[in-house]
Each structure stands twice: as C-alpha cells, then as structure tokens.
Structure 1
C-alpha cells in the first residue's frame, strides 16, 4: 500500500490531538517540600568525614546560649546560631529542635509559653526577634555609643559598627554610615581619614586600615629610639692605633692595709690638654698606697712594660733610632 504525503499529515494531526487530551495531575508536585532536599558534600575519605563531624560537634557544643538579657543582641545571636547549624549540615526541621537547647532564663520561659504558635524554624526566628529586638531609640543609642576600643583593630570595629547601622536603619545612606563610622573611630585616626575623604564605607575601611598600619609603624620606631641598645663605651679595642695587653695583676700582700686609690672620671680630650706624668711610668714603690693598681693594667708593645701604652712610651725615641 502506497502512503501519500496527505495521509502522513492526517496521521500526525490525529496523534497531536490524542496527546493534547491527556490531563496531568500537578497536585503531587505541589506537595513536595523543597526544604527537605539537602545537598551534602562529598568526602574524599572516611577520615575527612570524621574530622568534619568532630568539628561540627565542637562548634555546636561551644555555641553561646541566649537568655533574653538587655545586653544581648538577638539578631547577632540568631546569625551565629544559623551559621553554626549550616556548617553542621542540619536540616530545617532539626534546626528548630536543636535551638530549643540554647534557650535559658526568660527566653526559655517565653518559648514554652508561645510554643503552640511556633511550629517551625522560620516562625521561631520571626517571633523571637519581635520579642527581644530592642526599640529603635535603643538601637540608635547603641550605635552612637559604639566607639573603637584602645586595643581594638579597625576591622573589628568596622564590622560591628556596620551591623549596628544596619539594625538601626537598613536603608541608611553611605554618607551617614561613614559619618557614624568616623565619629566612633580613634581620635588619632580621625583627622587622617577625614583628609582622604572616603566616598563609600569600603573606602573608609581601606583608608582607616592604612592609617592604622602607619601609626603602628611609627610607634614601633619611637619605641626603638627611646630604648636604644646598650653600647660599651669602655671598649679599648675600638681604636686600631692602640695595641694593648690586659693581664691580671694581684696586689702585693704588703699593701693589704691600704685602700685602692679612686681615679677621677676621664675628662674630654677636646676640652683639656694632656699632661704627661713621668711618675706614672716609673716602677711602683712597695709599701706605699700608690703601689696598688687595678686588676687589669695596660702594657706597652714597644718596651713591654706596664703602666702606659706605646703612644706615650718614654723609650719610644730610642726604639725609633734603633738603640
């Protein structure tokens, strides 16, 4: 049987009408909860999986509990809790069950009283924020009073102050954010940041960190200047023209009744003339107070005698003549 082109077109139209009459039931797909789909990471080894599980347990164990006190920030606490639960790969239903263990004090009493109207994690977050979020005036006052602490870095102060600005006014302009950031900055950084005129909060952070590093460097240099290294000013080896030997000389037993003579402090050579003392180069007389010398004495390398150096040797001329 030969099938013509018109017959093929007729068969195609019949099949199209048949498929168009099929009715699909979409109620099943609408009942599927997309929140039940959890994407878990693929671990390369069992040890890696055990390490991640141990890390998640440690973070959950050290999570701060919320009591509803006036000095606690419920928004920040919720962000921390949600981040830890996400790292622990908890499902939405398990987050709602786990967070109940981190409520203490008045917050725990509040949850027990309103548990009948709080059925899931999303509702819990909305209701606890409504119950414990401070008023607008309190948030504005806290934002204005937030200042950079003496030993606090610019980055830590910036992150905290930006969060307070967002809580007080989510639509706050960049100019107002920079105004509040600058007002709470350290007094030593404010003039330098204002002079550079930041346009965005990100520019403020970069400029403030640069000025902070410069001041830390300057403080380190000033500390080195105030605390110089100890320099030995009595080092006789610094002069290459003077060669000497230092040998210990024990005092004579006959001079045990005498005290060693104290020598006056040396005078600057530029302000006084050297006076040659011939008696200093003569052998000491035993039994006199001046016979005691220090435990270290200078020796001349020309005549090999003690008590003077080669520059002031009385026999230097004889050695120069070859006698």
Structure 2
C-alpha cells in the first residue's frame, strides 16, 4: 500500500523528532520505547521495523551496550525487554528521586507538578492522592507553600456535600 505524500511527511517528521536514546540517567527508557511504539502504531509498522527504528536511534552508552549484545537482541521484543532491564532505574532510585525532588528557582509549577506526578506513578500506579499531595508540598518552593496551605485549610473548613 502506497502512502500519500502527507502520511510520508508525517512519518518522516516523526522519525526525525524521535530523540536518540543514549542511556543518560536523565533520559527515560520507557519514554523512548513508548515513542518508538507510538510511531509504529501511527505508521502501521511491524516489529522488525520497530527494531530497526530503535537501533538507529541508540547513541552513547546505549549504542555501545547494543553493539556488544546485538547477537541476543535480534527482535523488537528482546530489544525492548533488555533495554528495560539495562536502563530502567531501580524502584529504590526512583523513590529517592521522588523524596529529594525540589522545585527549582524559576521552575514553573506545572513542570514541577508533572515531574512529581510522573515519579509517583513510577513508584506506585495507585498511590493515594494524599501521598501525592504530600510529595508535591514537600518539594514546593517556600513562597508557594504558604499559599497552598492557606488554600487547603479553607478547603478543609468547607463542608462536603
């Protein structure tokens, strides 16, 4: 089946925009895998093509790891599984990052919020809301904590329907 020019452009753009996965601790291997699969789903690609896209987009230590192990990483399923085993941080490392995460000077509240929510989901998909709120408040800049606590107090004082 031949793609129309618009679909070709979208597929090419999606591949160009997919960042290289280098294995840097600041990169999330799950985001890389999800992005590859999203492109595959969008473009109707098979697993062999997903494997090719992923290996082309490896760089740095991730490429070195792949190059040293490529004999055992011949399918997308194997590559994906081993990428996760090799580059996904441990649960204890994620918990530590969550506990130590502080809103930085100049960091937008939305960016801080999104990062905390992401870390909470990595620790526990079903983390109770009160724990998420505690993590958000603990790392929030002091000048914002006052306003949030004031607002939460007024919410606590309001009767529930």
Q: TM-score range by the shorter chain?
A: 0.7 to 0.9
Structure whose CA Rg is larger: 1
- Higher RCO (Cα < 8 Å, 6 or more apart): 2
- Aligned counterpart, 2:20: 65
Which one of 42, 48, 51 corresponds to residue 93 of structure 1? 48
- 1:202-241 alignment, distance < 5 Å: none
Q: TM-score, normalised by structure 1?
A: 0.41
- Aligned counterpart, 2:59: 104
- 1:1-323 alignment, distance < 5 Å: 49-197=4-152
Distance 1:53 1:102 in 2: 19
Structure 1 residues 158 and 84: CA distance shift in structure 2, 3 A: farther
Residue 36 of structure 2 contacts residue 50 of structure 2 at CA under 8 Å; is this kept in 1? no
Count of residue pairs the alignment pairs up: 152
Structure 1 residues 182 and 88: CA distance shift in structure 2, 3 A: farther
Residue 98 of structure 2 contacts residue 119 of structure 2 at CA under 8 Å; is this kept in 1? yes
Distance 1:186 1:89 in 2: 45
**Cα displacement string for residues 184-224 of structure 1 (whole angstroms, at most 9, x for unaligned residues):** 223232222233339xxxxxxxxxxxxxxxxxxxxxxxxxx
Distance 2:44 2:125 in 1: 29
Measured on the aligned residues, the alpha-carbon RMSD in Å equals 2.7
Quote the offset at 1:73 in angstroms. Answer: 2.3
Residue 74 of structure 1 contacts residue 133 of structure 1 at CA under 8 Å; is this kept in 2? yes
Higher percent of residues as helix: 2
Distance 1:151 1:86 in 2: 37
Q: TM-score, normalised by structure 2?
A: 0.76
Residue 67 of structure 1 contacts residue 106 of structure 1 at CA under 8 Å; is this kept in 2? yes
Quote the offset at 1:76 in angstroms. Answer: 2.6
Quote the offset at 1:102 in angstroms. Answer: 0.9
Gap runs ≥5 in structure 2: 154-161
Partner SS state of residue 189, structure 1:
helix
Distance 1:88 1:184 in 2: 40
**Cα displacement string for residues 268-287 of structure 1 (whole angstroms, at most 9, x for unaligned residues):** xxxxxxxxxxxxxxxxxxxx
